[in-house]
Amino acid sequence: MGEADEPAQRCNPTNGITNIYRYHQVPLAGKRLLDVIGELKRHSLRLIERGGYEESLEVFDIAESVFNQVEELAFVENIIPGLKRKLDIYRKVLDDWKELLIDIISREKLRKVLEGTKTSRRVAEDEMMDG
């Protein structure tokens, strides 16, 4: 029985058959890194709940950086099936997340301005009553 007739063997280091994906560990890790974005988003939202608006923006920046670095690997779509689709999904996640952060932070700034106005009005009314 010649080599062509032998049944397919499993990949293992002792028989010299290697897995093609072993040579593409960075792109595979990149695909998995995209999943980190969801965890970073959850962390960011927890920070917002505690009033950590600036920290939340920093977490978003980290997530966007991870995305941008993995996006550079999009050319390996034929080696990593589904990468392009996953990139598209996480681009939408980042866009929605950024929109949410802008909305929440804008509302918080407006709330502070309104509270300051309300406080100023009370002080002015108190001075009028005293005067």
For residue 95, the Cα-to-chain-centroid distance in whole angstroms is 10
Phi first, then psi, for residue 14 (nearest 5°) are -80, -25
Higher pLDDT, 58 or 25: 58
Task: Give me the mean pLDDT over the 42-60 stretch.
Answer: 94
Look at residue 27 and tell me whether its pLDDT is greater than 60.
no
Q: What is the mean pLDDT of residues 1-19?
A: 45
* Distances in whole angstroms, Cα of residue 53 to Cα of each of 32, 47, 58, 119: 27, 7, 9, 23
> What per-residue confidence (pLDDT) applies to 76?
64
Look at residue 8 and tell me whether its pLDDT is greater than 80: no
Q: Is pTM beyond 0.75 here?
A: no
- Helical H segments across the chain, by residue range: 25-49, 53-71, 83-130
